[in-house]
Structure 1
Amino acid sequence: MSIKLRAGVALIAVAVTFTGVVAATPPVQAQGLFDALFKSPAQRKLEQRARQQARQQPRKKVAAPAPVKQVRISGPSYHRYKADTLVQVDFDKIADPMVTGGIDDMGLSPLGIDPFAEGRPVLADLSVRALPEAAKAVVDYYSAHPDYVWVAGTSITDRARSVVQVLEAADTVGLSAADYKVDVPADAFDVTQGTERQKELMAFEMKLSVAIANYMLDATRGRVDPNRISGYHDFKRKSPDLAKQLEALSMASDPAEALLAQNPQGAHFEALKAELKRLHELDDGARILIAENVMLKPGQTNPELANVMAAIELKGSDALKTDNALLFASYAGKPEYDQELVSLVKGFQKEAGLKPDGVVGPATRRALVGITNADKIEKVRLAMERARWLPGVLAARRVFINQPAYTATYYNEGKSDLSMRVVVGTKSNQTNFFDDEIELVEFNPYWGVPQSIIFNEMVPKLRADPSYLDRLGYEVTAGGKRVSSSNINWSTVGRSSNIGVRQPPSDGNALGELKILFPNSHAIYMHDTPSKSLFQRDTRAFSHGCIRLQDPRAMAAKVLGTSVGDIGSHIAGGQNKQVQLSSKIPVHVAYFTAWPDDNGTVEYFADVYDRDDYLRKAIDATEAARSS
């Protein structure tokens, strides 16, 4: 008996040792031996009945995670613009200064009656509207300086007249003179109505200062708040100290010049001003219309071909027309786009700086049709408004990216030192418009895949093929821990799943050899790309929002202040590494459909994201609010 007992106990021990987990039901032989030795018949019978009941009950299944609806992350949206509201200037808040000097028996100061104090009662009935910041600034200024600035004796000053001229010429700097209109008192007046004259002069003084404050605000930051247009605009709106600027203007030797200086300074703005003046002096020339949706390829037949030929005859160079004089003379309006006509179109495309492929599409149509002077004036005025969102003075060393031009330019000492083609975001993945500072260059970079790409593009594929990212060599994290993509139940992945994806450095990495970082909330940066062929296209809106550089090594060398050879040595090692700039460089990720080239000649570009339309509507809403 004792031998059998030790054997039974040993059998149980072996089961525990090798499984690592105690079984819910011991092995049959061990269980029977244990029951026979240590349990009464009644106890064994009760336990047997309980086991039978347990077997008869259905087992509870552990519920699998419920699939979640596929997440789609949308980009920013455009808004219906809400203009700034004008407010009544509360002139009653202008502090009445305490008289601390000697007072004579008649209650007058030793020098006689204070003209400003004499005109003060007019303020109680004066109704003037202004931007809130301007209204406050005027009250603050006159509370600290209770005296006339633009009036002397019984007339206005020459300084006032010069400032009024600046306000009347506001249209020449892209603003609207109607926003700053001030009626100037006549020089002649009835001397017997001295009180009325004082009222007139006090009203002029205040209206002019309010108009100046409004002008200063608009000239400095623009009439439109860009962030109210869409989520694609990201600017901290400027808040100038208008009371201090009014004080500086009152003491300036040339107040008109000082007021004009509130506008952006630099060659870019001067070029826009000169272009606006030139356009206003021109008449619209002849123009051939071509259907907006035209797409004409060699060998096709299209009735628009006649308009294409007429436009080339109008827009083409004398040399092109001379070389093809016989073709123009013999063309009789046929719609067949044969090889002879294709050669002519290619010649025009080459002159226009387009890819000479013979295909008449949107870019070639724009070059053939051109835009009217009225269209150009509108683009220049919009460019002047956008220029006010940038710093008033652009840094001498900077990078300027103009999305509609598909270019990135490096400036040193205020001059263009390097310019190249870029690829920007598609219309559904637009590149934002903002300012920042370049901080570092990363070589052989990882690509941290944005959440929008993960959920909008990768997850749908992963639900059908969980190993998709593993095969492509991507690294996946869940809750911060590295996992295989095939081990994730992608049907349950939602916005709160804390999933991360990145692509390690490699020849096929989406960021290529390097990226140039200016950390921002939009995850936008400049980088290399393996898709080099896209730079040959005229329209280059193909990315998910970042800026792909045609010559990333050259740009990296400029911002790091080193040679292209040194950049190559950083890349050659194949290791991921970051190099900080010795000093940060301003970068403007901008959007201008009219912008001057290095020679000051204003060039015009297609409105790739339709942002001109949205800005025009915002300006219209602003003008309506101010005139209501």
Structure 2
Amino acid sequence: MRQFTVLKHSLAMAIVATTSLSTVSEASAQNFFGRLFNSNRNVQQDGPHAPVRRVQPAPQVKAPAATAPSAPVAAAPAARPKPAPIKKVSAPSYYTYRTPALVPINFARLLPTGSAEITGSIEPAAAESAFDRALDGLRDYQLTAEKEIAAAIEKHYAAHPDFIWVQDGSTHARAEAALAVLDDAASYGLEPGDYQVTRLSAAAEGEVSATTEAGLIRFEMALSARVLRYIRDAHAGRINPNLISGYHDFPDKPIDYAAALDSLTSGIDVKSYLETQHPQNAEYRALRSELKTLRAELPETAIRVDPKLLLKPGQSSSELPKMLSLIVQKSDAAYKAAHGAAIEANAGGEIYTPELVTAVKAAQEAHGLKADGVIGPRTVAVIAGMSKADKINKVEVALEQLRWHPSQLGDTLVLLNAASFQAIYRENGVDKLTMRTVVGSPATQTSFFYDEIERVEYNPYWGVPRSIIVNEMLPRLLNDPGYLDRAGYEVTDAKGQRIPSSAINWAAHGSNIPYNVRQTPSEANALGELKIMFPNKHAIYMHDTPQKSFFSRDARALSHGCVRLSDPRGMAAAVLGSDLAHVEAKLAKGHSSEKITRKIPVYVAYFTAWPNQAGQVSYVPDVYDRDEKVLTALRKTSDSRAPAM
């Protein structure tokens, strides 16, 4: 019995010593990590890997001696700080679009010195020009324009006090050419009302009076303002895409309005000059041609199905009979022989029965869709098609979006169209490679911008974005700090020092995690075997994926924002100007990086209407609901410009 008591006492002492040692060591480690937290945290996730330095273990601390052998004292547990609040990292948001304010053009600097005090008529000096004599007509004239355009008009006419659009008391030939272009604005998807100018009346032509002089000078200024607006819209777009959402990211497209007025004053062909302000690429021309064709078509009488229909087996919908009618209309004799009886037996019914599911699957397969039996937006779009009005809206949106891009897209490029889940590699004007993609989900959308491809990384590391660390990893790390160690991730501080995930108090920092997390190269790596980089602030790039099954789906908005490629090796070989053998050899050597030696623009795009190289336009559903945001901004722009004068 005494031996048992002694053994029991010895075990108790050992436990006290071990507990004290563990507690002090943990506290020492936390103090060490705390000294690292004030360093710079803005480390690019996909930048070069910093040198790895492992954290040295904390020094051994001797446990305090027990005060009495018979009454061991338990060590007080270390006080843990109160967990910091965790605020999830939000995705970019959509804004309420606000149009830039129009400003009145200040004609005061154009008027003769002291004219503000003159109340009566003045006998014009013999040397006065027709322009000088007409200036008094601007005294109480109110004309608004965009701020930059107003400034350009004030500056130009102060430096060059002469007419551009008027000659011998009537409109100049160049004015007629400009007015014809403005009248044709709708053919480019622009709004003609934005460029409206009141013509000179017949009474204003011929003999010039004080009244007609006022009309001439006002016509001059109004036409200059609206021509410059047309140039602005044709060159850069009617709206500012960056005011739509944080997903839109386009550089400014500056315009030298003063130079434009100088050019229009010269003997250039006004019609050609104005038309060349539009994008000069084949896609823009094809979309404009499609718009003309659509508007010329007769009013439609087709059956219309809700484009957002989502009907699963066993459910019911009033849209089902219309969908079945369209399937029959667009099917061949073999399909009707196999499934016509089942559809006819359920004609008018709204319940999606097993017999109808079989018929719909066959129709999906016939139209190149995944035969899953679910009647969703993509099935409706492909089988039912879109209304004429919807197509016109999509083409007008696409024309506007192209105006945000460079006029010449380039002969060699990569187009990543998130709306159609498609990647295209074009070389010397020919589409040489087309593949399926997986893009961002509606909650984590792929952004809309353009850049230039810089390099290919083989067997890459995956620098985990902060949004994923905070929103998805952190909840698990709070209960399982060693999760990242076991899952093949490396954790480093801002100085590149490696820190075991299990040694970090993840609750201490809330959303302000002062660590970088990356996944090491492996078959399980989220980026697969390679990624193609065009560094940008959105941390978006092209890459491989271990989740190959996603490419068999029709709707593939499933990622965190990056673009997954169904044929990453093919795309890598294409942008490198090499072949698959070269890419395979690089992959066999482990982690490495290879620079792109030529300039290849990449367009991370979003077009729900887009032409192929033959000029045929395809239409796809608006998975992010972005088209309506653009249409709303366009309507607001027209409303803000409504008073043409």
Normalised-by-shorter TM-score class: 0.7 to 0.9
Separation in 2, partners of 1:226, 1:168? 25
Which of 558, 567, 582 pairs up with 1:551?
567
RMSD: 3.0
User: Do the aligned partners of residues 460 and 285 (structure 1) sit closer, same or farther apart at CA in structure 2, a change above 3 Å counting?
Assistant: same
In 2, the alpha carbon distance for the partners of 1:59 and 1:330 equals 80
SS of aligned partner of 2:436:
strand
Structure 1 window deviating more from structure 2 (424-433 vs 199-208): it is: 199-208
- TM-superposed CA distance for 1:23, in Å, is 10
Aligned AA (1:528): D
Q: Which stretch of the first structure deviates more once superposed, 553-562 or 490-499?
A: 490-499
Give the corresponding residue for 1:261: 276
CA distance in structure 2 between the partners assigned to 1:27 and 1:313 by the alignment: 92
Indicate if the aligned counterparts of 2:343 and 2:356 stay in contact, CA closer than 8 A. Answer: no
Q: Judge which range, 114-123 or 168-177, deviates more.
A: 114-123
User: Once structures 1 and 2 are overlaid, which stretch shifts more, 87-96 or 380-389?
Assistant: 87-96
Contact 2:250/2:404 (<8 A) preserved: yes
SS at match of 1:394: coil
Q: How does 1:339-378 map to 2 (within 5 A)?
A: 341-378=356-393
1:91-148 alpha-carbon deviations (Å, 9 max, x no partner): 2234979xxxxxxxx9967xx6422222222222222111111111222222333221
- 2:134 counterpart (119, 125, 135): 119
Question: SS of the counterpart of 1:429?
Answer: coil
From 484, 500, 505, the counterpart of 2:516: 500
Change (3 A) 1:473 1:625: same
Task: For 1:613-628, list aligned pairs within 5 A.
Answer: 613-627=628-642
For 2:346 and 2:64, locate their aligned partners in 1 and report how far apart those are by CA, in whole Å. Answer: 96
Contact kept? 2:305, 2:380, Cα under 8 Å: no
| Residues 587-615 of structure 1, C-alpha deviations (whole Å, 9 max, x = no match) | 11111111112211111111111111211
What runs of 5+ residues in structure 2 fail to find an aligned partner?
A: 1-58, 69-73, 114-122
SS at match of 1:125: coil
- SS at 2:526 equivalent: coil
Aligned-partner residue type, residue 559 of structure 2: S
Alpha carbons 2:241, 2:248 under 8 Å: kept: yes
CA contact (8 A) 2:110 2:135 kept: no
- Report 1:461-472 matches (<5 A): 461-472=476-487
Instruction: Tell me by how many angstroms 1:300 deviates.
Output: 7.3
Residue of 446, 449, 454 corresponding to 1:434: 449
Seen in structure 2, the aligned counterparts of structure 1 residues 497 and 192 have a Cα distance that, compared at 3 Å, is closer
CA drift of 1:532 comes to: 0.7
Q: Which residue of 1 aligns with 2:305?
A: 289
Number of aligned residues: 571
By how many angstroms is 1:360 displaced? 2.5
- Contact residue 478 and residue 497 of structure 1 kept, 8 A: no
Which residue of structure 2 lines up, in the alignment, with residue 407 of structure 1?
A: 422
Cα distance, 1:191–1:585 mapped onto 2, change above 3 Å: closer
CA contact (8 A) 1:447 1:504 kept: yes
Matched with 2:216 is 201
1:490 to 495, 501, 506: 506
How far off its partner does 1:470 sit? 1.1
Counterpart of 2:461?
446
2:601 is matched with which residue: 583, 586, 590? 586
CA contact (8 A) 1:137 1:213 kept: no
Are the equivalent residues in 1 in contact too, given 2:86–2:511 (CA < 8 A)?
A: no
CA distance in 2, matches of 1:303, 1:169: 42
Q: Which amino acid aligns with 1:295?
A: L
**Mapping of residues 233-272 of structure 1, within 5 Å:** 233-272=248-287
Distance 1:602 1:486 in 2: 54
1:348-400 Cα offsets, whole Å, 9 max, x none, are 22342211333323321333332211111111111111111111221111111
Q: Which residue of 2 aligns with 1:66?
A: 82
Following superposition, the deviation at residue 309 of structure 1 comes to 2.0
Aligned pair in 2 of structure 1 residues 313, 483: CA closer, same or farther (>3 Å)? same
Q: CA deviation at 1:88?
A: 0.6
Q: Distance in 1 between matches of 2:503 and 2:137?
A: 80
Q: How far does residue 310 in structure 1 lie from its aligned partner after superposition?
A: 0.9
Counterpart for residue 53 of structure 1: none
Instruction: Give the structure-1-normalised TM-score.
Output: 0.84
Query: Highest Rg: 1 or 2?
Result: 1
Find the counterpart in structure 2 of residue 278 from structure 1: 293
Cα-to-partner distance string for 1:262-292 (whole Å, 9 max, x where unaligned): 1111111111111111111112131143694
1:548-569 CA distances to partner (integer Å, 9 max, x unpaired)? 0110111111111111111111
Task: Assess, with a 3 A threshold, how the Cα gap between structure 1 residues 301 and 481 changes in structure 2: closer, same or farther.
Answer: same
SS of residue paired to 1:584 = coil
Report how far residue 25 of structure 1 moved.
9.2
Choose the corresponding residue for 1:569, options 571, 575, 585. 585
Please give the alpha-carbon distance, in whole angstroms, between the structure 2 residues aligned to 1:613 and 1:587: 25
Q: 1:396 aligns with which of 411, 415, 437?
A: 411
1:312–1:119 distance in 2 versus 1, CA, 3 Å = same
Q: If the length of structure 2 is used for normalisation, what is the TM-score?
A: 0.82
Matches of 2:309 and 2:230 in 1, distance apart? 42
My pick for the range that moved more, 575-584 or 488-497, is 488-497
Q: Does residue 574 of structure 2 align to residue 529 of structure 1?
A: no
Structure 1: gaps spanning 5 or more residues:
1-18, 29-57, 98-105
Question: 1:481 aligned to 2:497?
Answer: yes
The correspondence for 1:595, drawn from 596, 603, 610, is: 610
Superposition deviation, residue 322 in structure 1: 6.8
Deviates more, 1:240-249 or 1:185-194: 185-194
Check conservation: 1:138, 1:213, Cα contact below 8 A. Answer: no
| 3-state secondary structure, aligned to 1:548 | strand
Superposition map of 1:121-270 within 5 A: 121-189=136-204, 193-270=208-285
Give the partner amino acid of 1:392: S
Instruction: Give distance in 1, aligned partners of 2:60 and 2:508.
Output: 32
Whether 1:420 and 2:432 are equivalent positions in the alignment is no
Output one character per residue of 1:287-340: Cα deviation in whole Å (capped at 9) or x when no partner. Answer: 14369444233x777775433321212333566447766666666546676676
Partners of 1:208 and 1:301 lie apart in 2 by: 58
**Greater displacement, 159-168 / 348-357:** 348-357
Which residue of 1 is the match for residue 100 of structure 2?
84
Change (3 A) 1:80 1:566: same
Q: What does residue 460 of structure 1 align with?
A: 475
How many angstroms apart in 1 are the aligned matches of 2:561 and 2:341? 48
2:536 counterpart letter in structure 1: N
Distance 1:311 1:23 in 2: 82
SS of the aligned residue for 1:365 comes to helix
Tell whether the 8 Å contact from 2:85 to 2:511 is kept in structure 1 after alignment. Answer: no
**1:466 touches 1:490 (CA, 8 Å); kept in 2?**
yes
Please tell me the residue identity of whatever aligns with 1:481. Q
| SS of residue in 1 equivalent to 2:210 | helix
Pick the aligned partner of 2:533 from 517, 525, 535: 517
Hey, what does 2:576 align to over in structure 1?
560
Q: Which moved more, 1:301-310 or 1:451-460?
A: 301-310
CA contact (8 A) 2:460 2:520 kept: yes
Q: Tell me if structure 2 keeps the 8 A contact 1:185–1:201.
A: yes
Segment of structure 1 superposing worse, 302-311 or 384-393: 302-311
1:316 counterpart residue number: 331
Q: Tell me the distance in 2 between the aligned counterparts of 1:161 and 1:192.
A: 20
Structure 1 counterpart of 2:321, from 281, 287, 306: 306
2: CA distance between counterparts of 1:253 and 1:384? 26
User: What CA distance in whole angstroms lies between the structure 1 residues aligned with 2:572 and 2:609?
Assistant: 27
CA contact (8 A) 1:87 1:129 kept: yes
The alpha carbon displacement at 1:157 in A equals 1.8
1-structure distance, mates of 2:503, 2:384? 57
Could you tell me the percent identity over the aligned residues? 43
